[in-house]
Amino acid sequence: MTPLSFAAFTASTVLVSLLGARLFASPRFAVLTGVLFVLTPLLWRQTQDASGSLYALPFVAGWLFIVRRWSRCRRDSRQRAARS
């Protein structure tokens, strides 16, 4: 396992756990999401082989986290505008 593939693996796991926490609104489900993600056999295989497809995974997970956060902020602003 190269240091770059380990960093991508770690960043992906953290970002998917954060996404799970945001999506399910529970720290318990954040841990469960992270554990299920880590136990995926394909992820371990890609980490060992250090393929190029693994390096994009933290960016995709980060993008999903940002989209989820943006949609929630947008919905909150619409609710505030509707109350006014």
CB 43 within 8 A of CB 9: yes
* DSSP string for residues in 6-24: HHHHHHHHHHHHHHHHHHH
Q: Please, is 33 exposed, middle or buried when counting C-beta atoms within 10 Å of its C-beta (0-12, 13-18, 19+)?
A: buried
- Whole-structure pTM value: 0.60
Which domain range does residue 17 map to?
3-83
- pLDDT at position 32 is 92
Q: What mean pLDDT, rounded, does the chain reach? A: 80
Q: Considering its fold, how many domains does the chain have in total?
A: 1
pLDDT-derived band at 12, boundaries 50, 70, 90:
confident
Distances (CA, A) of 3 to 57, 59, 67: 15, 17, 28
What would the pLDDT profile of 32-70 be if each residue is shown by its tens digit? Answer: 988 998 898 877 777 776 666 667 777 888 888 888 888
